[in-house]
Amino acid sequence: MHPAFSVIFLTTLIGVGQGLFLALFTVESYAAFDLLPKQDGRFYAFGSALALGFLVAGLIASFFHLGHPERAWRSAAKWRTSWLSREVIVLPAFMGMVFLYGAAHFTGYNPTLATLPSAVPVRLTLLLGVAGTVLAFALFVCTGMIYACLRFLQEWHTPLTVINYTLLGGASGFLLATALAALAAPEVTRFYAGWTMILALLALVGRTASLLRNARLKPKSTLRTAIGVKHPRIVQKAQGAMGGSFNTREFFHGRSAALLRQVKWIFLLLVFPLPVGLLASGVGMDSPIVMLIAFAVQYLGLLAERWFFFAQANHPQNLYYQAVS
């Protein structure tokens, strides 16, 4: 597929936003159970604002993907069948929830709505957080499923797609949260750092699994099934248009296999060992800057990862668009 930057940014940015929110709410819930020290509302408020910032940026990026952004509202119509439609619903819902969550923390309006048997108060932010969490995961599922549901994009058509979107988004969000904590809530920095590493490790496992899986994929469609002629040797000579077409622009990355391989190693490096290493040293040095650098490095890596995610997907339609003459 042709990696469109709008989509690369959309998926990576909202991934950070989702991960960051999840990180915030994790601490809040731990804190609710007194497993971690309680944090000031402003930490959550600021964190939520930051998450919202990423989400909005992602949303803006997504508009660049549309031919008719002014009609974007229409895209909520087919939520029964379309994961894209569902994403379009869940994303703003999630953004709304993040906003409310942040606003509640910011304004300090956080009434206790109930009390759990263990005398843990259920406050408004906790409820909002739970809702947000559900939406965050829903959003991961929607985003992942947009790709995973396309059966014939075999590289994508696997639960790993959803899992990796979730883990990568989570890892990047938690990494950002670590840096944020180092600045505003030092007590939870190591907690975040720990989770970041766990998530990064899981993401590495997930992503490697998908790489291994994809390397072994046998395309279900071949020229034999594409044109219905049973012969081992079929070669296209002409695709019917010599100056290119939508089909040659949208479904081909147009780069060499070598570049693809390079990008793969680059993202594997940038997303996993490098930021984890930086993070570790950042924690060791107690340097938020180094952690921010770790985040930046990882985000860069995620862009590469997402580029690769698209580029590697081999659309069966490409069988029909291989040669001109």
Partner 1 sequence: MTQLALVIDLNVCVGCHACVTSCKEWNTSGQAGPMSDFDPYGADPTGTFFNRVQTFEVGEFPNTETVHFPKSCLHCEEPPCVPVCPTGASYKRAEDGIVLVDYDKCIGCKYCSWACPYGAREIDEKQKVMKKCTLCVDRIYDTTLAERDRKPACVLACPTSARLFGDVHDPESEVSVAIRESGGYPLMPEWGTQPANHYLPRRKTKLRIHEDELVRADNPLKVDGKLPKPAKAEPSLDDVTSW
Partner 2 sequence: MSVPTPSVQEVKKTTCYMCACRCGIRVHLVDGQVRYIDGNPDHPLNQGVICAKGSSGIMKQYSPARLTRPLLRKQGSERGAGEFEAISWEQAFSILSERLAKIRATDPKKFALFTGRDQMQALTGLFARQFGTPNYAAHGGFCSVNMAAGMIYTIGGSFWEFGGPDLDRAKLFVMIGTAEDHHSNPLKIAISKFKRNGGRFVSINPVRTGYSAIADEWVPIRPGTDGALLLAIIHEIIAQGLYDRDFLVRYTNAGQLVNLDEKSDEFGMFLRTEVPEEEGCFDPQNKLWWDRASNKAVITHTEGCDPFLLGEFTLSDGTPVKPSFQLLADRVKDYTSEWAEGLTGIPAATIKRLAYEMGVTARDQKIELPIAWTDSWGKEHDTVTGNPVAFHAMRGLAAHSNGFHTIRALAILMSLLGTIDRPGGFRHKAPFPRPIPPCAKTPNTPLAVQPNHPLDGMALGWPAEPDDLFVDEDGKPVRIDKAFSWEYPLSVHGLMHNVITNAWRGDPYRIDTLLIFMANMAWNSTMNTAEVRKMLNDKVSDKDEQGEYKIPFIVVCDAFQSEMTAFADLVLPDTTYLERHDVMSMLDRPISEFDGPVDSVRIPVLPPTGECKPFQEVLIELGTRLKLPVFVKKDGTRKYRDYPDFVTNYETEPGSGIGFLAGWRGKGGEKFMRGEPNPRQWEMYAANNCVYHHELPRSYQYMRNWNQGYLEWSQRSRITRYAEPILIHLYSEVLQKFRLAAQGKGITRKPPEHLKQRIETYFDPLPFYFDPLEVQATDTHKYPLAAVTQRPMAMYHSWDSQNAWLRQIHAHNYLFINARTARLAGIADDDWIWVESQWGKVRCMARHSEAVEPGTVWTWNAIGKAAGAWNLTPDANESKLGFLLNHVISEELPEGAGRISNSDPVTGQAAWYDVRVRISKVSPGETAQTSLPQFAPLNPIPGRKSARAFGRT
CB atoms within 10 A of CB 127: 15
- Report the residue number, 66 or 212, with the smaller CB distance to partner 1: 66
- Report the residue number, 250 or 286, with the smaller CB distance to partner 1: 250
- Report the residue number, 117 or 240, with the smaller CB distance to partner 2: 240
Residue 241 as a binder of partner 2 (CB under 8 A): the answer is yes
For the CA atoms of 245, 250, 254, 258, the dihedral, rounded to the nearest 10 degrees, stands at: -150
Following DSSP, what letter does each residue of 147-190 receive, concatenated?
HHT-TT-TTT-SHHHHHHHHHHHHHHHHHHHHHHHHHH-GGGHH
Burial label, 81 (beta-carbon count in 10 A; 0-12, 13-18, 19+): exposed
Binding span for partner 2 by CB under 8 A among 52-60, 233-241, 254-262, 309-317? 233-241
Which residue type, as a one-letter code, is found at position 219?
P
Residue 325 as a binder of partner 2 (CB under 8 A): the answer is yes
- E-strand spans in 96-181? 112-115, 121-123
Residue 257 as a binder of partner 2 (CB under 8 A): the answer is no
Residue 293 DSSP one-character state: H
Residue 228 as a binder of partner 2 (CB under 8 A): the answer is no
Q: For residue 2, report the phi and psi dihedrals to the nearest 5 degrees.
A: -80, 120
Residue 229 as a binder of partner 2 (CB under 8 A): the answer is no
Binding span for partner 2 by CB under 8 A among 72-80, 118-126, 241-249, 285-293? 241-249
Task: Tell me which of partner 1, partner 2, none is bound by residue 149, counting a contact when its beta carbon lies within the kind-specific cut-off of 5 to 8 angstroms.
Answer: partner 1
- Report the residue number, 246 or 257, with the smaller CB distance to partner 1: 246
- How many residues make contact with partner 2 (CB under 8 A)? 8
Are residues 22 and 133 in contact, defined by beta-carbon separation less than 8 angstroms? yes
**Shortest approach of partner 1 to residue 267 CB, angstroms?**
22
Residue 221 DSSP one-character state: -
Q: What does each C-alpha distance from 314 to 10, 84, 149, 162, 279 come to in angstroms?
A: 21, 20, 15, 18, 35
What whole-number distance in Å separates Cα of residue 188 and Cα of residue 144? 30
Candidates 67, 117, 228, 243: give the one binding partner 2 (CB under 8 A): 243
- Report the residue number, 235 or 258, with the smaller CB distance to partner 2: 235
By the criterion CB under 8 A, which residues form the site for partner 1? 1, 65-69, 71-72, 74-78, 81-85, 88, 146, 149-153, 220-221, 223, 225-229, 231, 233-247, 250-251, 315-318, 320-321, 325
Residue 240 as a binder of partner 2 (CB under 8 A): the answer is yes
Residue 119 as a binder of partner 2 (CB under 8 A): the answer is no
Residue 320 DSSP one-character state: G
Candidates 215, 235, 257, 258: give the one binding partner 2 (CB under 8 A): 235
**Shortest approach of partner 1 to residue 222 CB, angstroms?**
9
What whole-number distance in Å separates Cα of residue 210 and Cα of residue 168? 13
Task: Tell me which of partner 2, partner 1, none is bound by residue 246, counting a contact when its beta carbon lies within the kind-specific cut-off of 5 to 8 angstroms.
Answer: partner 1
What whole-number distance in Å separates Cα of residue 181 and Cα of residue 190? 9
**Shortest approach of partner 2 to residue 238 CB, angstroms?**
9
- Report the residue number, 34 or 230, with the smaller CB distance to partner 1: 230
Task: Tell me which of partner 2, partner 1, none is bound by residue 65, counting a contact when its beta carbon lies within the kind-specific cut-off of 5 to 8 angstroms.
Answer: partner 1
What whole-number distance in Å separates Cα of residue 309 and Cα of residue 320? 22
